[in-house]
Amino acid sequence: MNPVRFDPQGPFMRDPIPPHQMRDRLTRIQDVFVQCHLGVPRIEPDQWSLTIDGMVERPRTLRFDDLMRYPKTELSTVHQCCGSPLAPLEPKRRICNIRWSGVRLVEVLADCRPGASAQYIWSCGADFGEFSGVVVDPYMKDLPIARVADDVLIAYEMNGSALLAEHGFPVRLVVPGFYGTNSVKWLTRMTLAERRARWTPSQHGAVVLASRAESFSGQIQPLSGRRNAIHEVAVNVV
């Protein structure tokens, strides 16, 4: 992929509408919250690629046209921010309900033939830079492979329209039931491994603090067993 251009460079945020105004089943795109800690990468579809490597028999590099050859899948799910990495205990009330369209990750991985020992997927985005005085390498989150089979998407549309740049255009990951920080935007690489990614301050800095829904044992847990429409979420959830 060509060098990434950022516009804007640096943190770019948009607060959602207040919870009491969320009356529609699907949140309008202009009302969806935005959290871009490192800026907004600007990537054209013909410049984008997704490399899948690591513990696979068939490493692949997919272009956008390759992705579009897979069957299109749609799902609606609550999308929720985990909060600010600078104030991890402060609730931010950032939540929305979105209909995503894209490709089931399990189908893409099947063509790569994951190794039997692969347990996690390390997903990398195109965003990097500096956040709160900390130099940050390209953003990465890990995900148990066991979580992929149900409904994890490589998404390219939200609410029937192409993703906006600030929401991950041209392609992002969508992990229903997990905090939004797991749904890596501007997805460029997925590496299969037998262990979780090891976080270092130079790798992610403050961006990874309080970033996953985890139990005290360190096992990643979904937020709930069912994915509710936005009007069904209790106030204490947001």
Would you state the pLDDT for residue 106?
A: 97
Most confident by average pLDDT, 2-6, 35-39, 43-47, 133-137: 43-47
Would you state the pLDDT for residue 187?
A: 97
What is the arithmetic mean of pLDDT over 220-225?
38
Would you state the pLDDT for residue 218?
A: 36
> What kind and span of H or E run contains 120?
strand 120-125
Amino acid type, 145 = I
Q: What is the mean pLDDT of the chain?
A: 81
Instruction: Examine residue 59 and say whether the peptide bond preceding it is cis (omega within 30 degrees of 0).
Output: no
**Tally of CB atoms within 10 A around 21:** 9
| pLDDT-derived band at 236, boundaries 50, 70, 90 | very low
Are 38 and 129 in contact by the 8 Å Cβ rule? The answer is yes
Three-state DSSP state, 96: strand
Whose CA is closest to 143, among 80, 203, 76, 192?
192
Would you state the pLDDT for residue 14?
A: 85
Domains of the chain: 5-237 (3.90.420.10)
- 93 pLDDT exceeds 70? no
Would you state the pLDDT for residue 137?
A: 83
Rounded Cα distance, 142 and 155, in Å? 17
DSSP state of 65: H
> What six digits make up the tokens of 130?
């500096």
153-169 residue pLDDT tens? 999 999 999 999 999 99
* Burial of 202 (C-beta count, 10 Å sphere; 0-12/13-18/19+): exposed
- 209 pLDDT exceeds 50? no
* Bridge partner list, 173: 154
**Tally of CB atoms within 10 A around 17:** 15
Are 210 and 85 in contact by the 8 Å Cβ rule? The answer is yes
